[in-house]
Structure 1
Amino acid sequence: MPRAPSAIVQRMKDSAKQLIPDPIFLSLLHRKHIGRFPNLLHPKTFNEKILQRSLRPDPRYGALTDKLAVREYVRAKVGEKYLIPLISSPEVFTRAVFDALPNSFVMKANHGSSFVEIVWDKSQRTFEDLQLLANRWTSTDFYKIARERHYREIQPRIFFEDLLLDERGQIPADYKVHCFGGRPGRPMMFIVVISDRFGSDTRGDVYDVQWNHLDVGIGPYARSTTPQPPPENLESILETAVVLSEDFNYVRVDLYAPDNDVYFGELTFTPGAGVVPTRPDRVDFEWGRLLT
C-alpha cells in the first residue's frame, strides 16, 4: 500500500494524543523533557508543582493569562504607563485593519506562547502573509499542546502593539522575574534575562536581586560567558514585579526595560508548562521548596 502523506500521519498522531488523559499526557511529557516521571499527588519540584497548577488552575489564571484581558489588571495595579501602547485589537483581521497599521509594529495573539511577529517595515509584508499567520494562530487550541487547562478559557484574538526598541534600535531584553511569595516582605525573586531573543545569538541568564550571575541554566538557552551589567532601572523592574505578583504565591512577571522605562509583557502562572529542565537539576528541587 502507498505510504500516507506525512501531514495525514501527523494528524492521526495528534488525534491519538487527544485520547490520552491529561495527567498521563503530562507525566509522559515530563518524563520526555525532564528525564523522570513526576509525582503529581505529592509534588516536590518546581516543574511538578507547575504541572499540578496546569491540572487544577486557580480560577483567576484564565483572564490574567489572556494577554488582552490582563491589561485591565496591570492598569489597576501599576498604571497605564506600564502598558505597551495598543494599536489595534480587531474582532476580525481585515485588509482595512492592515492598511491602518503603522509602518512598524508587533502582531500577537492573546491565547498562548510564542505568538509574536515583528514587522519592521510593513511595505515588505503583505496582508495575505499576515492573515495566514493570524489564522494559523487563532485556529491553534493552545490547551492541547501541554494541557494547561486555564488556556481553554481564552477566546483567541489577534492584536497589534507598538514596536519597542532600545537606544540601539534593537529589540529590548526580556526580563522574566520569577516571584515566589507566600511569605512576609518581598517575594523571593530570580530574574531570567533573555537577550537577542529574535536574533542569532539568543542567551538566557539567571540573576538574583543583587544581580549576581547564577550558575543556572533554564530550558534551551545558553548562558552568556560574561554577565551583563545590571540595568540602571533594576530597582524599578523589581518593584513593578513585586506589585504585579503580590496577589499570588507564585507568578512569573515578564517585563521590558528599554531606556529606563518599564513595560509589562505578560503574567505566566505555568511557565514552560512544567516541563522545562534546569541545569543543575537541583534547582528544580530548590525552586520547588520556594513554591508553597
Structure 2
Amino acid sequence: MRQCSSLLVKLSAVLYRRFRRISLALYRKNVPPSILNVVLYPTYLFQFVAVHHRFPIRPTRLFNDFLFQVRSGTELECPLRRRVSDKEYCKMYMEEKLGAKTAIPTICVLRTADEVERYRPSVLPCVIKPTNSCGRIVIARSEKEYIEALPKIMDWFHEDYFMCDLEKNYATLERKVIVEEYIDDSFSLEGSVHCLGGEPKLISLIDRYTKARQSFDLDGTPLGVSLYYPLRAFEPASWEFLPSLLRQSRILSSEFTYIRVDFFTDTKRVLFGELTNLPAAGIGRFYPADGEKIFSEVFFRPVH
C-alpha cells in the first residue's frame, strides 16, 4: 500500500478539523442533506488520510477503503439503515427476521427524561443504553446504582450522536433510553459477523471476561488480526454455535450491501444484540500493522 507523505498527512489532519467544524455548523442549521453531503465528503476524506496515511482508492481490496465508500455515499441515509441504527427498532427488525426471543430481551423503553427519573428497574441487574448512539452503557446491579447513574442517563437526551462521528445513519434519530436484561454470565463470548452482500465473511470473538480477542474465517481458523483493539489471541472452547450463527447472519444481512451482526454466545446458544453499519466509524486501525491486508483478503474472497 502506497503511503502518503508526512506533510500531506499533517495537512489532512488540519483540513479534517476545519471541515468537521463547517459540517457541524451546517448540520445545526438544518441545511438539506444534499448541501451537507458536499461538505461531509472532504471531511471524511481528510480524516481517512490523516488516520490511514493513504487515499481510499481500493474499495474492492481493502476493508477500510470499502467502508469509506459506504460512509461517504448516500447509503447510510436510507430508511432501513436508519431503522437498525435505533436500538429499539433494530431489535424489532431482528425478531421480524428470526422470530421471537432471538435478540437480547428488552425490559422497557423510556422516551422522556421524566420517565427516566421516575423509573426504577423491575429486573436486576439490567443494562441501560441510549437508543440513538453507540458505546454508551450503564450496568445497574441495584436500584441504588441506577439512581446514582441518573445524571449520566438523563444527559443522553441532550446528545446527538451524529455530532460525535458524523455517521449519517444517526442524524436526527429520536432520543430514547432502552433498558435490557443483563446477559447471563454463561454467555462468555461476544462477537460479530462481518457480512458482504448477504454472505458472512469473517467472525470476530471477544472473551467478555479476559477481553482476549481474535478474528476467524468461516472454518474457525484464527487470522491473527483484530480491528480497533489490540489482538489477544484465543480460541473458543467449542464451535457448536457456528452453523446456526452463520444461517441466521445470512438472514439478517440479506437486505444490506454490508452489515456487522453482533451477538453473544455460550458456544451453544446465540443471542443477537445489534446490527452495526460502520465498525469503528469506518476509520479503525488493525492490529498488527498488516492486519488489514489479512482481514481484507478473507473479507473479499469469493463465495464458492
- Shorter-chain TM-score bucket reads 0.7 to 0.9
2:127·2:140 contact (CA, 8 Å) conserved in 1?
Answer: yes
Match for residue 181 of structure 1 among 197, 208, 219: 197
- Counterpart AA for 2:69: Q
Q: Report the Cα distance in structure 2 between the residues aligned to 1:228 and 1:245, rounded to whole angstroms.
A: 24
Q: Do the aligned partners of residues 246 and 17 (structure 1) sit closer, same or farther apart at CA in structure 2, a change above 3 Å counting?
A: closer
- Counterpart AA for 2:21: Q
Task: Confirm whether residue 101 of structure 1 aligns to residue 122 of structure 2.
Answer: yes
SS in 1 for 2:297: helix
1:179·1:188 contact (CA, 8 Å) conserved in 2?
Answer: yes
Point out which structure has higher relative CO (alpha carbons under 8 A, 6+ apart): 1
Match for residue 229 of structure 1 among 222, 237, 240: 237
Q: Which runs of 5+ in 2 are unaligned?
A: 1-15, 24-38
Q: Do the aligned partners of residues 130 and 138 (structure 1) sit closer, same or farther apart at CA in structure 2, a change above 3 Å counting?
A: same
* 1:43-73 per-position Cα deviation (integer Å, ceiling 9, x unaligned): 7532122122223225121011211112221
Deviation, 1:159, is: 0.9
Q: By percentage of residues, which structure has more helix?
A: 2
Name the residue aligned to 1:193.
205
Deviation, 1:264, is: 1.3
Q: Report the Cα distance in structure 2 between the residues aligned to 1:14 and 1:141, rounded to whole angstroms.
A: 19
- Counterpart AA for 1:111: N
Name the residue aligned to 2:29.
none
SS in 2 for 1:256: strand
Match for residue 19 of structure 1 among 14, 18, 22: 22
Name the residue aligned to 1:253.
261
* 1:67-119 per-position Cα deviation (integer Å, ceiling 9, x unaligned): 1112221121101110211111021243331x243231000111121122222
* 1:124-163 → structure 2 map (5 Å cutoff): 125-127=145-147, 129-163=148-182
Name the residue aligned to 1:205.
214
Q: Report the Cα distance in structure 1 between the residues aligned to 2:133 and 2:244, rounded to whole angstroms.
A: 27
- Counterpart AA for 1:131: L
1:202·1:222 contact (CA, 8 Å) conserved in 2?
Answer: no
Q: Report the Cα distance in structure 2 between the residues aligned to 1:24 and 1:259, rounded to whole angstroms.
A: 44
Name the residue aligned to 1:6.
none
Name the residue aligned to 1:35.
53
Q: Do the aligned partners of residues 91 and 286 (structure 1) sit closer, same or farther apart at CA in structure 2, a change above 3 Å counting?
A: same
Task: Confirm whether residue 69 of structure 1 aligns to residue 81 of structure 2.
Answer: no
Match for residue 133 of structure 2 among 108, 112, 119: 112
**TM-score, length basis structure 1:** 0.80
SS in 1 for 2:255: coil
SS in 1 for 2:93: helix
Q: Which runs of 5+ in 1 are unaligned?
A: 1-12
Name the residue aligned to 1:10.
none
**What percent identity do the matched residue pairs reach?**
21
Deviation, 1:120, is: 2.5
* 1:15-60 per-position Cα deviation (integer Å, ceiling 9, x unaligned): 98321532222223223332323349x7753212212222322512
Name the residue aligned to 1:282.
293
Task: Confirm whether residue 87 of structure 1 aligns to residue 107 of structure 2.
Answer: yes
2:193·2:260 contact (CA, 8 Å) conserved in 1?
Answer: yes
